[in-house]
């Protein structure tokens, strides 16, 4: 009897505690409610309302609202398109440690012009975002090292960065890692590893990677020879507009039996790209 009262009281206290926590998270946090209201409006294409909700939050120092305001200026949604304002808001969010904002700044400078000064800035921001673990930033930074944009060419560093992004599932990075293994750039050439990474990107629907793994399967390069499976990948790549795959597909299909071609077409029709993690 005594123990049950104690249990009961404990339960009640725990329940009160939970309730208080829930209130703290939702009811007692009007800023979060405003943020959500802004998000709903944004999704509905009502950018004027989204701005009304997010601007005061951003001005009060909310990093996510600052980041979203930056996106709205960058894309000219509900406001005049203004890269300058976008950068200003992203800088505020990045100063609070928001890695996505650092990534957006990096991509902004990378995509803006060919001005060397911008490449240097792009590197600085992408480095911060890549260190925080964003694969898209690691991949872009890797390409900058590979091509020598904003600094000297550094194939080893390019390889490490692109591998990081590939391992996190970025299909473009997987495709590029395949090329680095194929050509022996920043790492010893490794045809089997090249085929493995082309396949990983191909399975996610990357057309260039589908074209490459298709040819490798036909030749048996770094992977067991399988012409029907090779044809399937070439068909898939061609459908996405890969002109080299089209030539290779036509040459291969002319060589295979009608049954083999039909099987490859059946597999291509059943193909579903794997979702990125």
Partner 1 sequence: MVSRRLLLFSLASVCFSPAVAPVARANQSTDANGAAQFVQWLGDQAIATLRTPNMSLEQREAVFRQLLAQGFDIPFIGRFVLGRYWQQATPEQRDEYTRLFGEFVLKTYSKRLGGYAGEAFRVVGAKPAGERDALVHTRIERPSGPPLECDWRIRAAGNQFKIIDVMVENVSMALTQRQEFASVVGSSGMDGLLVALRARTEAAAATAGR
C-beta of 112 vs 267, nearer to partner 1 = 112
Binding of residue 241 to partner 1 (CB under 8 A): yes
Q: Could you tell me the smallest distance in angstroms from the CB atom of residue 84 to partner 1?
A: 16
Which residue of 135, 205, 214, 230 would you call a contact of partner 1, by CB under 8 A?
A: 205
Reported for 232-236, long-range contacts at CB under 8 A and 24+ positions apart, including other chains, are: 232/264, 232/265, 232/267, 232/268, 232/271, 233/202, 234/210, 235/264, 235/265, 235/268, 236/202, 236/207, 236/210, 236/268, 236/271
Binding of residue 202 to partner 1 (CB under 8 A): no
Asked if residue 274 lies in contact with residue 244, where contact means CB atoms within 8 angstroms, the answer is no
Reported for 172-178, long-range contacts at CB under 8 A and 24+ positions apart, including other chains, are: 172/139, 172/201, 172/206, 173/135, 173/138, 173/139, 173/142, 174/198, 174/200, 174/201, 174/204, 174/206, 174/209, 175/201, 175/206, 175/208, 175/209, 175/212, 176/139, 176/142, 176/143, 178/209, 178/212
- Binding to partner 1, residues 5-64 (CB under 8 A): 32, 35-36, 39, 42-48, 64
Q: Is 224 left (phi over 0), alpha (psi -120 to 50) or beta?
A: beta
Rounded Cα gap, residues 127 and 102, in angstroms: 9
C-beta of 89 vs 230, nearer to partner 1 = 89
Which residue of 130, 149, 195, 231 would you call a contact of partner 1, by CB under 8 A?
A: 149
Reported for 24-32, long-range contacts at CB under 8 A and 24+ positions apart, including other chains, are: 31/57, 31/60, 31/62
Q: Could you tell me the smallest distance in angstroms from the CB atom of residue 17 to partner 1?
A: 21
Which residue of 103, 164, 187, 248 would you call a contact of partner 1, by CB under 8 A?
A: 103
Rounded Cα gap, residues 107 and 117, in angstroms: 14
Q: Could you tell me the smallest distance in angstroms from the CB atom of residue 43 to partner 1?
A: 5
Tell me which stretch binds partner 1 (CB under 8 A): 111-119, 194-202, 214-222, 249-257.
111-119
Binding of residue 152 to partner 1 (CB under 8 A): no
- Binding to partner 1, residues 210-229 (CB under 8 A): none
C-beta of 142 vs 228, nearer to partner 1 = 142
Binding of residue 194 to partner 1 (CB under 8 A): no
Site string for partner 1, 64-83 (x = CB under 8 A): x--xx--xx-xxxxx-----
Binding of residue 144 to partner 1 (CB under 8 A): yes
Residues making contact with partner 1 (CB under 8 A): 32, 35-36, 39, 42-48, 64, 67-68, 71-72, 74-78, 100, 103-104, 107-108, 110-114, 116, 136, 140, 143-144, 147, 149, 172, 205, 207-208, 240-244, 273, 275-276
């Amino acid at each position: 009897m005594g123990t049950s009262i104690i249990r009961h009281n404990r339960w009640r206290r725990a329940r009160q505690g939970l309730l208080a926590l829930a209130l703290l998270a939702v009811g007692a946090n009007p800023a979060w409610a405003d943020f959500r209201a802004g998000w709903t409006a944004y999704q509905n294409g009502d950018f004027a309302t989204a701005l009304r909700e997010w601007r005061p939050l951003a001005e009060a120092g909310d990093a996510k609202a600052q980041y979203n305001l930056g996106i709205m200026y960058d894309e000219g949604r509900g406001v005049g398109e203004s890269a300058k304002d976008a950068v200003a808001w992203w800088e505020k969010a990045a100063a609070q440690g928001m890695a996505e904002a650092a990534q957006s700044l990096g991509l902004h400078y990378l995509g803006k012009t060919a001005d060397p000064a911008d490449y240097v800035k792009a590197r600085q921001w992408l480095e911060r975002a890549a260190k925080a673990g964003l694969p898209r930033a690691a991949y872009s930074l890797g390409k900058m090292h590979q091509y020598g944009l904003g600094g000297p060419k550094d194939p080893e560093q390019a390889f490490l960065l692109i591998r990081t992004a590939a391992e996190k599932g970025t299909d473009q990075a997987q495709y590029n890692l395949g090329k680095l293994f194929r050509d022996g750039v920043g790492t010893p050439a490794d045809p089997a590893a090249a085929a493995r990474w082309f396949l990983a990107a191909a399975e996610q629907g990357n057309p260039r990677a589908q074209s490459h793994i298709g040819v490798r399967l036909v030749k048996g390069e770094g992977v067991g020879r399988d012409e029907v499976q090779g044809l399937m990948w070439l068909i898939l790549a061609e459908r996405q507009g890969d002109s080299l795959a089209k030539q290779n597909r036509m040459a291969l299909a002319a060589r295979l039996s009608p049954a083999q071609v039909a099987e490859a077409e059946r597999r291509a029709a059943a193909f579903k790209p794997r979702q990125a993690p």
